[in-house]
Chains A and B, each alone.
Chain A
Amino acid sequence: MSAAAWQAGRADPIARFARYLHSRPRLMLALLLTPPLLWLGVIYLGSLLALLAQSFFYIDEFSGQVVRELSLRTYAELLTEPNLLVVARTVAMAAAVTLACALIAFPVAYYIVRYASVRLKALMYLGVMVPLWSSYIVRVYSWKLILAKEGVITWLAEHLGALWLLEAILAVPVLGGPSLSFSMFGTFIVFVYIWVPFMILPIVAALERVPRSLMEASADLGAAPIATFRRVILPLAFPGVVAGSIFTFSLTLGDYIIPKVIGTSHPYIGTVVYAQQGVAGNVPLAAAFTVVPMIVMAVYLTIARRLGAFNAL
């Protein structure tokens, strides 16, 4: 190839277009970003704004029609006692589920990152992920059978002579019930089971980023393992815990299937939204209810930030 041919390069239209873009990086960036930005701006944020707008409409009690006028009437309805109780119950459940997920996930994640061999690591990743590939509904219904009065847990308790313990747990007021599958404990157990992978994975990611030499340095400088955990590992892995808790917390706040299938008939935010926009036809109230988790998450993240959860990022 002669030098002239080398410099001229290919002459077909695609090559010419590529050269045209190459010399105009801004145009290229605009072309690349426009489709995803449209998606994000119009479909994603747009629908969110539409939802927000809905919550400022209200329903005419006489006709049952939605009145498209800006008003805080729906929010006034949201702030009545039974509705506030639903919010409080849901937030308490989400907090308990998040805490339990963190307590279960951290040791698992730590084991995966620090101790598991390459083979075992792959197996453990699979163990965490595979449940996510199977149907959520099927898993929730299988838990109904596991937790039922005639289920595996009762059977196991009988054979271990721990029936008294199960009965004591079920006798707890509010949280207990006739059987685990008809109690708040049951709802809690299934929530924790379903969301725990969303806590394990971010903690694994955070721990992977903590070099082993930091732990060695801490030990070298005189810190016993517990001090190293408290002063070095936990602070550096905490952004992962916070990331995981965003998942477990918000997923629990919005879920409506688990409380419907497992537990008492006490309503949660999700079940109320489902009922209001469906049977009751009160879309404004449903919209107002969905605003609640957003506000709760915003408050939660602000507090986490204040506590320094993101300082190690």
Chain B
Amino acid sequence: MDSSDVAVRFDGVSRLFGEVRAVDRVSFSVTDGEFFAMLGPSGSGKTTCLRLVAGFEHPTEGRIFLSGKDVSDVPPYERNVNTVFQDYALFPHMSVQENVEYPLMIRKLPAAERRRRAGEMLELVRLPGFGARKPAQLSGGQRQRVALARALIGQPRVLLLDEPLGALDLKLREEMQVELKAIQRQLGITFIYVTHDQGEALSMSDRVAVFNHGRVEQLGTPAEIYDHPRTAFVAGFVGISNLLPAAVAERIGAGSRSFSIRPERIHMAAPTEPAAEGRCSADGTIRSVLYYGAQTRYLVGLDAGSELTVVTQNSDASGLRAAWSAGERVRLVWLRASERPIEEGVET
């Protein structure tokens, strides 16, 4: 597996803090030029994995390879990897220009070249002319861009991003998602992106590793992760998901295995809707209605026990606020092919 197109490889890596296994026997590879997301709730070990790549932490067990070279004991300043920190970590006593030039200044490059390349980088992140300002004079989004320029100027093989958009407001976050993706494609650098936001992970990355309890629960393309969640945890963490226990599945005639189903795959109909081939149906009562503008989300209590979330698109031109209201009796219908069996015995 030591082919030259593997940028980062984890080989049975564990990181213990005292008795706590923050990272637990993790193995995976990141391909050169890939946009790789590490997704998981806080405390799932994703940030520790990122810090292991950067070199701020060293593995307790296992080895880490960068471009095929074992770097498990190499300090951060000797790794060809740069980080965009969650709090940006801009040097407050330096101007934007000095911050961006910092890696080149450390490498003792001539001042003229430093200035030229820093100018190019500020251009890339769309902050030309901001060089003279101090970080304190910038907005959160602008600091984010400076941190990005500073991390990219040394032309790293891998760029690590630790929840880089976490502190930005929604609008700016969506803008930066598009921009980050464009910059990654333009430069062809491997991005490893840590986030707890499943939407971000799905929309930006080539592949996603879902972390839970220090382990990689599932690794795959966004479509694989969303459409074929292997465990109940992945199904629940990525998108909204309905989990039907085996007992309920049996009562509504949907086999004897527990399964998950996405809310947008469920059709909501009047209780008179006839059954059809290849479909499964279950009757229930609407418990609550949440209106989101483009969509409406219903919580339906099944007669057979358990609750299902159903999402309907409000694409009807009549513009009625919600077609159904709480307390109404409904029949839920879905294709058997939409059911995703869940591995048993996996704790959530």
Q: What residues make up the interface of A, taking CB atoms closer than 8 Å to B? A: 211, 213-214, 216-224, 227, 231-232, 235-236, 311-312
Known: A221-B82, A222-B106. A213 touches B89 (CB 8 A): yes
10 more A-B residue pairs beyond the given contacts A224-B77, A312-B92, with a C-beta to C-beta distance below 8 A:
A214-B91, A216-B54, A216-B89, A220-B77, A220-B151, A221-B102, A221-B103, A221-B151, A231-B91, A231-B105
Q: How far is the CA of A223 from the CA of B81 in the complex (A)?
A: 13
Chain A, interface SS category: helix
Known: A216-B76, A217-B83. A222 touches B89 (CB 8 A): no
Once A and B bind, how many residue pairs between them come within 8 Å at the CB atom?
A: 64
Q: How far is the CA of A223 from the CA of B90 in the complex (A)?
A: 15
| CB-defined contacts of A222 to chain B, threshold 8 Å | 77, 103, 106-107, 154
| CB-defined contacts of B150 to chain A, threshold 8 Å | 221
How many of chain B's residues have a CB under 8 angstroms from any CB in A? 25
User: Can you spell out 11 A-B residue pairs with CB atoms less than 8 angstroms apart?
Assistant: A211-B89, A213-B85, A213-B89, A214-B91, A220-B54, A220-B151, A221-B106, A223-B102, A227-B106, A231-B91, A311-B93
Known: A216-B76, A219-B76, A220-B83. A312 touches B89 (CB 8 A): no
Q: How far is the CA of A214 from the CA of B87 in the complex (A)?
A: 10
Minimal beta-carbon separation of A217 from chain B (angstroms): 4
Minimal beta-carbon separation of A177 from chain B (angstroms): 44
Q: Which of B75, B82, B102, B103 has the most CB of A within 10 A?
A: B102
Minimal beta-carbon separation of A208 from chain B (angstroms): 15
CB–CB B87/A220 < 8 A: no
Tell whether B56 is near chain A: CB-to-CB under 8 Å. yes
Q: Which of A217, A227, A235, A236 contacts B89 (CB 8 A)?
A: A217
CB–CB B87/A223 < 8 A: no
Q: How far is the CA of A213 from the CA of B135 in the complex (A)?
A: 15
9 nearest CB pairs, A to B: A217-B89, A213-B89, A312-B93, A221-B103, A219-B76, A222-B106, A223-B106, A220-B83, A219-B77
Q: How far is the CA of A235 from the CA of B92 in the complex (A)?
A: 10
Minimal beta-carbon separation of A162 from chain B (angstroms): 39
Minimal beta-carbon separation of B161 from chain A (angstroms): 12
| CB-defined contacts of B76 to chain A, threshold 8 Å | 216, 219-220
Q: How far is the CA of A19 from the CA of B301 in the complex (A)?
A: 54
Minimal beta-carbon separation of A229 from chain B (angstroms): 13
| CB-defined contacts of B92 to chain A, threshold 8 Å | 236, 312
Minimal beta-carbon separation of A211 from chain B (angstroms): 7
| CB-defined contacts of B107 to chain A, threshold 8 Å | 222
A213's nearest neighbour on chain B, judged by CB, is B89
Minimal beta-carbon separation of A67 from chain B (angstroms): 53
Q: How far is the CA of A214 from the CA of B88 in the complex (A)?
A: 9
Minimal beta-carbon separation of B90 from chain A (angstroms): 8
Q: Which of B56, B86, B87, B154 contacts A221 (CB 8 A)?
A: B154
Q: In B69-102, which residues have CB < 8 Å from any A CB?
A: 75-77, 81-83, 85-87, 89-93, 102
Report B145-162 CB contacts with A as 1/0, cut-off 8 Å.
000001100100000000
Q: How far is the CA of A213 from the CA of B91 in the complex (A)?
A: 10
Known: A221-B106, A223-B106. A216 touches B91 (CB 8 A): no
CB–CB A223/B93 < 8 A: no
